[in-house]
Chain A
Amino acid sequence: DVKVTQSSRYLVKRTGEKVFLECVQDMDHENMFWYRQDPGLGLRLIYFSYDVKMKEKGDIPEGYSVSREKKERFSLILESASTNQTSMYLCASSSLHLYGYTFGSGTRLTVV
């Protein structure tokens, strides 16, 4: 059974903290994505990566950075967490032909 695993289901962080969200996939997928999901806004793309050490900005990259040192791992970094980054964060991966995404279970981040 293929999997996308996000390291934490729930996180509570303080304003100004540096936050790391980790995502690992075991399907040898080339593409990996980070989305945030907020009520009424749907999923919005933060960053994506088509290859190791490669990253592209999505629709809302401000306040975030990413790292992809290995093919199976894609990390989302909040350099200085703010309360407006309280959200559900979803990682996804897909094969090169983009037939569909496999999503992780999500990380619900609360910044206080």
Chain B
Amino acid sequence: KNQVEQSPQSLIILEGKNCTLQCNYTVSPFSNLRWYKQDTGRGPVSLTIMTFSENTKSNGRYTATLDADTKQSSLHITASQLSDSASYICPLKTSYDKVIFGPGTSLSVIP
């Protein structure tokens, strides 16, 4: 069983709409959990980072939340833009400094 799972696998939304991506993990405790955005053909770029004790972090239209009780993190995108079309990945860094990557969610924003 993967230690970091993401859902949905892919998502298509209309421009201007909001969406929420999910990351479920089994590792606990952990050092930090990030959300990365990866444009097609490019390397991932960090959006947010949260430590085990934080429960929300915002970066512009991106808001990440963390619920340590349910072992879930969400990335909420507000007023989506065409440029938000990308893969979104949530890697988790364990207390032993190992980084575990989720498989990613592919988001397509259409006009």
Contacts of A9 in B (CB 8 A): 41
Separation in Å of the A33 CB from the closest CB of chain B? Answer: 8
Q: Does A74 contact B (CB under 8 A)?
A: no
Cross-chain contact A103 with B44 (CB below 8 angstroms): yes
B101 touches A105 (CB 8 A): no
- Shortest Cβ distance from A38 into B: residue: B103
Q: Nearest residue in B to A41 (C-beta to C-beta)?
A: B103
- Closest A residue by C-beta to B49: A100
A-B contact count (CB 8 A): 42
* B43:A106 contact, CB within 8 angstroms: yes
A14 CA / B99 CA spacing, docked (Å): 32
Seen from chain B, the residues whose Cβ lies within 8 Å of a Cβ on chain A are 4, 9, 34, 41-46, 49, 89, 91, 93, 97, 99, 101-104
Pairs across A and B, CB under 8 Å, 26 listed: A9-B41, A35-B101, A40-B9, A40-B103, A41-B103, A42-B89, A42-B102, A42-B104, A43-B89, A43-B91, A43-B101, A44-B101, A90-B44, A92-B43, A98-B97, A99-B49, A100-B49, A101-B46, A101-B99, A103-B43, A103-B44, A105-B42, A105-B43, A106-B41, A106-B42, A108-B41
